[in-house]
Amino acid sequence: MPDYDYVIVGAGSAGCVLANRLSTDGDVLLLEAGEPDDEREMSVPLAYPELWGSSVDWVFETEAQPELDDRTLDVVQGKTIGGSSSINAQVYLRGHPADYDGWAAAGNDGWDHETVIERFERIEDGPGDPYGEGGPQHVAEQGDPHPLSSAFVDAAVETGLRRRECLNDGPPEGVGYTDVIQKGHERHSAADAFLKPVLDRPSLTAETGARVRRVVFDGDRATGVVYDQAGGTTRATVREEVILSAGAINSPRLLMLSGVGPADHLREYGIEVRADRPGVGRNLQDHPIVYLPSESETDDTHGDADSLVNLLKYLVLKRGPLTSNGLEAAGYWRSDGDLAAPDVQFVFAPAYLERGELVDGTNGFSIGTALVHPQSRGRVTLRSDDPDDDPAIDPQYLAEDDDLAALRAGVRKAREIADADPLATRRANRDDPHDRPEETIRSGTVSYAHFAGTCKMGDGEMAVVDDRLRVRGVEGLRVVDASVMPTIPRVNTHAPTTMVAEYASEFVTGDARSDLQ
């Protein structure tokens, strides 16, 4: 029977960081349910939408959402080496100081902004200040942005947003181009940054197609996992810890299947209760986003990005629209001037998008309006005790009235930006197709795929992990991914998730050394 110091479940943004850091002085088994990240579309920055709904996506969907016309929404979650960092829009944003200071104020010692910023810098290799230098994660500026993206920035400035050269240089406020996880104008996923450079370490074993069914316990201590691979079932044991890095949907699901979760819910499916933790699966958060598209006069928007000319331009010169991450610029805005930090993010795509999907044959641009500090909370629950059954995912989008009010204000502001001359003069039709903001929100809002919070850290009955990310009520088990975030950061979640994993690696190795003393 294999025996490791650590078993890490999930090779996404967090799991790749942990595998890199923990395998320097420990034997690590990294288990990924998906396949290797060898799809060509993964390396081409603008090809990622073609991967959604494919074999490298878990292809989950939400429960019907009452506030969104009872629609079910796609839940995009990467199922491959690199996880969602292999199929996302590559935006690199650290977060607002209020995000992390809020975590610390809620009782999570050491998670304040001043402390976590050092962990960001340690993992980064960016284009000068404010980034770190020489870290594994390469961060780049936009390589060949579309002129419409510049027009969006100009239009946002005309409506009152402050122009920013870098949205990570200080709090993310105002408007500017987005920086991205790219290297040489190709995607630089967590797998590219953290995992592939160390795959030759004898201390690291990485397995794909390995679907973990449950965590194994001896009494209250996690001693390993059981997983399916190639038609067989294997048990791997650990000397130190099992670490769940399967994401905000799958990590709580695995905890519940292993007997850690709300006792009544587990008993409903005949699962033996190992630890009654009512917060497992609760506190689900996401950034709901609605896109406002406009047709444009120019015929060279991203609607024809995959033309033969553009493909050749990318393959030969690494130039053109295929170098784009799609969301080339972003802005931050307060729906209420009394707020301490922005609660709305605008993102700009030089493409005509409806519900986040490209409309073929239509040239245009779109402003996405995302609620990045939502008050609504949802949950992830089991449907049965069968690990092969998808969980029930109910984000409860806009369940709180304040969320609808903030998003409605954001949509009005997005319309104001689209009506400003730098963009309005580029629209094919000056008539406003979005004059009913609430109807637009209810019929058009989709998931931004930034799920977080379902195994939140902190104190109290609903906390799942402590501030060193150890699962409460058991031993030898940690959760390290976006699910531990007590409140979702106001930014795209890849960068914060890698920071969480970098910080967690210190906890894991520090606790292991303490056990030896």
pTM of the model: 0.96
Angle in degrees, 0-180, between the axes of helices 97-105 and 113-123, rounded to the nearest 10: 120
- 333 and 266: one domain? no
- 115 and 232: one domain? yes
* One pLDDT digit (tens) per residue for the chain, 517 residues: 569 999 999 999 999 999 999 999 999 999 999 999 999 899 999 999 999 999 999 999 999 999 999 999 999 999 999 999 999 999 999 999 999 999 999 999 999 999 999 999 999 999 999 999 999 999 999 989 999 999 999 999 999 999 999 999 999 999 999 999 999 999 999 999 999 999 999 999 999 999 999 999 999 999 999 999 999 999 999 999 999 999 999 999 999 999 999 999 999 999 999 999 999 999 999 999 999 999 998 778 888 788 888 888 898 888 889 999 999 999 999 999 999 999 999 999 999 999 988 887 788 999 999 999 999 999 999 999 999 999 999 999 999 999 999 999 999 999 999 999 999 999 887 555 556 889 999 999 999 999 999 999 999 999 999 999 999 999 999 999 999 999 999 999 999 999 999 999 999 998 766 554 4
Number of structural domains found in the chain: 2
CA distance 148 to 145: 8
Q: State the CB neighbour count (10 A cutoff) for residue 309.
A: 9
CA distance 494 to 487: 15
- 218 and 248: one domain? yes
Q: Residue 482 carries which DSSP code?
A: G
Q: List the CATH number of the domain containing 486.
A: 3.50.50.60
- 168 and 49: one domain? no
- 255 and 302: one domain? no
- 236 and 167: one domain? no
- 63 and 96: one domain? yes
Residue numbers annotated as active site: 450
Identity of the residue numbered 51: L
- 279 and 293: one domain? no
Structural domain containing residue 97: 1-140+183-286+378-396+453-517
- 213 and 223: one domain? yes
Q: List the CATH number of the domain containing 419.
A: 3.30.410.40
- 306 and 321: one domain? yes
Q: State the CB neighbour count (10 A cutoff) for residue 216.
A: 18
Those residues whose C-beta lies under 8 Å from the C-beta of residue 452, and which sit 6 or more positions away, are 248, 284, 285, 286, 482, 483, 485, 488, 489, 493
DSSP codes joined into one string, 87-129? TS--B-----HHHHHHHHHTT-TT-SHHHHHHHHHHHEE-SST
- 331 and 366: one domain? yes
pLDDT at 385: 97
- 63 and 132: one domain? yes
